[in-house]
Structures are given as structure tokens and as C-alpha cells.
């Protein structure tokens, strides 16, 4: 029998760093005891470095990993999110179920090696290439479930409701044909997916794509239908990624998107506001007070030229937040945190902006906040190293040259701010089970082969 315990010289608990921590979990992978000041016992494995809570990735479009790095050239006089999106649509229109599964499997293996132990999949490619439902309407969602199960990563599946191409009920564009669903068909899809999600411990939620893609009646009906199925299910929405989107929402409703949402939907702690990038002071204050999580995707938001979220304004209102790798131009927890903090430093001309009174170590403060917010957005018990939470763990490699000789908190700082593109992770566990050992996932070679083949097919038009 494999041990269901681990001894850590340093572990990052929800309240901060603790020494000599013994962690125990049960057969389902739930922590049953977290005991600081324990004595190392023979037979209990000793972690090779500081133990961190595994990071939930709160925003992913898995298929976009296949086009990472392929849109870094100038196609228009002034490239923007919108020119990137047209390239992304061309890619999405070719994708087969087998290619999606191969890309997602490769991505999820990468995520585990990067310290993400679970992922919220914002899944919007539903139909076949002609825009017709597959014989099994859940075909592509099931491909994601299989990819996650095979990689061993936790999953919150968020099928996306997408109906219009702009505010005011504008008809969908031809390039959006694989995304479009009626509200009823979405609720049937959720019903159909529930047994498979339950069987692998995945959480099922709903993602109204954005206010530009979901008219008010559809939003209202979908939320009511979801609540009838599961009153606590997570709800994610892209809310204010682009200034163009804010302007269009103002033209349509006289309100900015976040203000409109807060006035017309029951936003609360079930919600994740993805890319709440463009808010005024009133929206920051009101949205934070709802208990919703701000879904921040710093490297994607930088890559797409979206704009900067004002983290201190959000945390002043006690707003919760977490991070996602979104378009997967970058798949690395440390880089998301670094990019988030550096954006704040550059705009404020200050340092250690995300540190708090309780946590002056900025990497520690950020890691804990992102785990708590990510867990809430995932709708799963992923809230860190505490009894009752899932044993999702990341063990830093204390012998790695970037970390060797440092203390626990310094090792996390070095991992986030000084590792460059090196990755000093020794082990990653999901629900207590080892997913990554000596920095590598056991299925890495197979996952990479499948990913490369699927990408080649998509780029050359083969199948």
C-alpha cells in the first residue's frame, strides 16, 4: 500500500508557513490531518523541499494550446485581440474530437508539471465542423473529460453558452457556428454530462460566454435552469476583457459590463468574473463585495494586449482572485504570479504590491490568495493544506540550484521571481496520488507525441 502521509520540513498552510508538518489523507485523497510541529517518523516519506498547496487553474481553453506561439507576427497595421480572435476561429473550425483530446492531454500533462493540480475548462467548441451537433452532443466535452482523467488532473467542466455575435442579439457569425446553442440544449448537455463528471470527481458548472454572446433572457433562463440542477454550481463569464466591449455595452445598455451584470444577475460567491480588466472604481467596489472571484490571466492578458487589472483596488475591497492560463501561450503558475505582480509594479512604480499586512512575502501572499480564489472558482475542496481539503500538493526541489540553501519562504520567492524558465519542482500530487515525480509526468513522452501530431494535422489540414 502506498503511504497516505507526507512529512514536510516547511509547508505553506492557509495561515502561512509552518515547520515540521505531517500531512495525512484518506483513500479518497482528502486531508484528514495537518499537524505542524510533528516528529518525522520512519515509514513516512519526507518531502524533498517545501510543500505548497497545488494551484487550481481557473481559466482554460484547452484547444488554444495548439496555436500558442503562432500569432506573434503583425497581420494588420494595428494588431489587437480581435485580429488574434479571427486566427483563433480558423483554428477552432478545423479541430476534430481526437485532436482536441490529444491537445488537451498534452496541455494537462504540462499543467501538472507546472504546478497546476486542477483546471476549470471554459469549453465552447461544441459542434462538428459544419456546426451540427455530434451524434453524441457531448462528444467534445467527453474528450476533455478523458484527457483530464488520463493526465490525472482535477477538472471543473464549464460548458459555454454562446448565442450572439454582439450586444443586442446580433446574429452569430459563420465562424462561430461550432459554439452556438439554445438555452434548452445547454441544459440538456449539462444533464447528459453529469454522470461522467460525477464518476471522475469533476465539477460541472456553466459559463455564459460574455454579455456580448448571451442575451439577457438567455442568461436569466440558463441561470435558473442551472440552479434547478445544482444550486451551488460554479458560474464563469468573460466580463470586461476589451475596451471595445465596454464601449459596445455602454452603447447597448448605458452601463458598463460589470455594472450591468451586477444589476441584472444574482452575482455571488459561485461566480468567477474572468478578465474583469476594465472596471471603474464603483465596479471594483461593488463586484468585490459580491464575493465573486476575479479570474486573472496575466500572461494571456499581456499577450493579447487587453490591459491591466488593478489588484490593490480589488483587494482593498477584500476581493477574491485566482489565476488561469487561458490561451496557454504560457503554462506556468510562477510566471502568472510574476506577470501579475510586475504589471502592478510597472504601473504604480512600487515593489511588492501584492504583499499584505499578514503576508509581507509577496510570493507567499500571492500563492495563498490564488489557491483560495482558484478553489472557490472551481467549486471543489481545493482550498489548501487543511483538514477536509483535497491533498493537492506541490513539492519544491530544495536541491535545485535556484533554491538550494534557502529557507522555505525564500524558496517560494526564488521559484516565482528568480527561476527564469527553470522549474524547481520535485513532485506534484493530486488527491494524494503522485502525478509528477522528479519534475516529470510519467506519460510526458506519449502526451508530447500526441500533441505534436495533432498540431501538425491542424496546421497542414490533415486529419
User: Could you list the active site residues?
Assistant: 275, 326
Burial 148-172 (b: 16+ CB within 10 A, else e): bbbbbbbbbbbbbbbbbbebeeeeb
Burial class of residue 351 in the structure, from the number of CB atoms within 10 Å of its CB (0-12 exposed, 13-18 middle, 19+ buried): exposed
Helix (H) or strand (E) holding 197: helix 183-199
Cα distance between residue 435 and residue 32, in whole Å: 20
* Coil/strand/helix, residue 396: strand
Burial class of residue 427 in the structure, from the number of CB atoms within 10 Å of its CB (0-12 exposed, 13-18 middle, 19+ buried): buried
* Coil/strand/helix, residue 167: coil
Cα distance between residue 326 and residue 307, in whole Å: 15
Q: Between the CA of residue 62 and those of 140, 226, 253, what are the distances in Å?
A: 11, 23, 33
Do 147 and 62 meet the contact criterion of CB atoms below 8 Å apart?
yes
Do 151 and 112 meet the contact criterion of CB atoms below 8 Å apart?
yes
Q: Provide φ and ψ at 161, rounded to 5°.
A: -90, 125
Nine cell digits for residue 318: 477584500
Do 156 and 190 meet the contact criterion of CB atoms below 8 Å apart?
no
Q: Provide φ and ψ at 277, rounded to 5°.
A: -70, -40
Name residues whose C-beta falls within 8 Å of residue 285's C-beta, 6 or more positions apart in sequence: 317
Amino acid at each position: 500500500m502506498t503511504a497516505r502521509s507526507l512529512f514536510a520540513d516547511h509547508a505553506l498552510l492557509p495561515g502561512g508557513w509552518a515547520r515540521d508538518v505531517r500531512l495525512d489523507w484518506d483513500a479518497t485523497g482528502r486531508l484528514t490531518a495537518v499537524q505542524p510541529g510533528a516528529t518525522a517518523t520512519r515509514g513516512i516519506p519526507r518531502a524533498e523541499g517545501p510543500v505548497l498547496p497545488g494551484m487550481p487553474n481557473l481559466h482554460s481553453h484547452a484547444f488554444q494550446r495548439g496555436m500558442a506561439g503562432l500569432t506573434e507576427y503583425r497581420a494588420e497595421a494595428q494588431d489587437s485581440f480581435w485580429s488574434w480572435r479571427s486566427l483563433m476561429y480558423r483554428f477552432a473550425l478545423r479541430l476534430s474530437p481526437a485532436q482536441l483530446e490529444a491537445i488537451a492531454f498534452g496541455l494537462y500533462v504540462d499543467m501538472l508539471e507546472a504546478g497546476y493540480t486542477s483546471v476549470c475548462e471554459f469549453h465552447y467548441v461544441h459542434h462538428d465542423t459544419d456546426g451540427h451537433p455530434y451524434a453524441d452532443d457531448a462528444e467534445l466535452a467527453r474528450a476533455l473529460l478523458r484527457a483530464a482523467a488520463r493526465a490525472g488532473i482535477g477538472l471543473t467542466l464549464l460548458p459555454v453558452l454562446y448565442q450572439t455575435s454582439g450586444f443586442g442579439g446580433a446574429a452569430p457569425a459563420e465562424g462561430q457556428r461550432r459554439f452556438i446553442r439554445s438555452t434548452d440544449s445547454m441544459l440538456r448537455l449539462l444533464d447528459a454530462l453529469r454522470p461522467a463528471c460525477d464518476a471522475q470527481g469533476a465539477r460541472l458548472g456553466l459559463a455564459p460566454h460574455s454579455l456580448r454572446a448571451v442575451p439577457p433572457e438567455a442568461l436569466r433562463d440558463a441561470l435558473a435552469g442551472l440552479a434547478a440542477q445544482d444550486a451551488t454550481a460554479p458560474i464563469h463569464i468573460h466580463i470586461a476583457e476589451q475596451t471595445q466591449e465596454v464601449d459596445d455595452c455602454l452603447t447597448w445598455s448605458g452601463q458598463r459590463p460589470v455594472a450591468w451584470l451586477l444589476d441584472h444577475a444574482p452575482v455571488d460567491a459561485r461566480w468567477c468574473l474572468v478578465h474583469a480588466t476594465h472596471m471603474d472604481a464603483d465596479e471594483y467596489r461593488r463586484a468585490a463585495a459580491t464575493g465573486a472571484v476575479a479570474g486573472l490571466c496575466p500572461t494571456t492578458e499581456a499577450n493579447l494586449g487587453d490591459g491591466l487589472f488593478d489588484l490593490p483596488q480589488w483587494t482593498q475591497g477584500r476581493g477574491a482572485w485566482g489565476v488561469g492560463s487561458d490561451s496557454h501561450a504560457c503554462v506556468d503558475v510562477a510566471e502568472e504570479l510574476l506577470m501579475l505582480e510586475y504589471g502592478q509594479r510597472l504601473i504604480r512604480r512600487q515593489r511588492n504590491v501584492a504583499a499584505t499586512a499578514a503576508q509581507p512575502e509577496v510570493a507567499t501572499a500571492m500563492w495563498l490568495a490564488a489557491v483560495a480564489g482558484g478553489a472557490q472558482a472551481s467549486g471543489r475542496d481545493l482550498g489548501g493544506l487543511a483538514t477536509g481539503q483535497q491533498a493537492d500538493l506541490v513539492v519544491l526541489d530544495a536541491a535545485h540550484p535556484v533554491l538550494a540553501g534557502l529557507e522555505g519562504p525564500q524558496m517560494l520567492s526564488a521559484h516565482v521571481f528568480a527561476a527564469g524558465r527553470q522549474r524547481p519542482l520535485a513532485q506534484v500530487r493530486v488527491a494524494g496520488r503522485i502525478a509528477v515525480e522528479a519534475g516529470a509526468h510519467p506519460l510526458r513522452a506519449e502526451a508530447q507525441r500526441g500533441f505534436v501530431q495533432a498540431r501538425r494535422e491542424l496546421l497542414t489540414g490533415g486529419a
